[in-house]
Amino acid sequence: MPVPTAHITAKKEDFAKTILMPGDPLRSKYIAENFLEDAVLVNNIRGVQGYTGYYKGKRVSVMASGMGMPSIGIYSYELFNFYDVSSIIRVGSCGAFLPDLKPCDIVLAQAACTNSNFADQYNLPGSFAPIADFGLLRKAADECEKLGVNYRVGNMLSTDVFYNDSFSDLDWAKMGVLGVEMEATALYCNAARAGKKALCICSVSDSFVNPELNMSAEDRQTAFTKMIEIALEVAEA
């Protein structure tokens, strides 16, 4: 497919090799305005804001993915396959399944369990295990150590359902799954199929076991500075 695509108005050269992808367009704008130098708006179709600028002299892009696997599935596919982007780092929020994970703690999604049928499209003779790029994961863990933040590396649940009528999400904790979000599986599948790199870094915003600690929507837009710093340090030029 030629660029621009049906969902991205940027020219091919407008994006850096690494893109940070928050779900929220306002968080994309916040990152560009507060962390990047000389940031330029390169995409705003459907309000999904994408910017390219510089972080410590390194060219980096940031663009929103929207909510859920269908949305990040479209954007990450087009960026990997039509814009020659090498790495996508999701920077988002998650709900924690474990009591020792508190708001603003970091979860590095080594792998992504799912209740989605996203991987069925590949017609594999079994179940595909979506995983992060180890190089990006290792760098992110090292950055967490340098910053002294509370973090965990492990399995995440990517769900298609925000309001789960069966109330079964916590069943995943029995298998050591750390928390739940809605995008990593599609991102990891698209990266694997394209031969590219992906990592999901999440800040805990909600707790399934300590709901009194849950953050407000306003806090989620601006409070995740450590997660953003980690992703920017990990980003490859």
- Asked if 142 and 229 count as a contact pair (C-beta separation under 8 A), the reply is no
Question: Do 128 and 173 form a contact (C-beta atoms < 8 A)?
Answer: no
Strands (E), the chain: 18-21, 37-43, 50-55, 58-63, 87-96, 106-114, 151-158, 179-181, 197-207
Cα-to-chain-centroid distance, residue 27: 12
**Token pair belonging to 136:** 């990006």
Six-digit token string for 62: 């940031």
Marked catalytic residue, from 84, 133, 160, 206 = 206
Under DSSP, the state recorded for 102 is -
Q: Is 24 a catalytic residue?
A: no
Backbone torsions φ then ψ of 173, nearest 5 degrees: -65, -25
Segment (H or E) for 76: helix 69-82
Q: Which two three-digit tokens encode residue 216?
A: 């407000």
Distance CA 173, CA 156 (A): 10
**Do 70 and 190 form a contact (C-beta atoms < 8 A)?**
no
Residue given tokens 């690494």 in the structure block:
18
The amino acid that residue 30 corresponds to is Y
Catalytic positions, written as ranges:
206
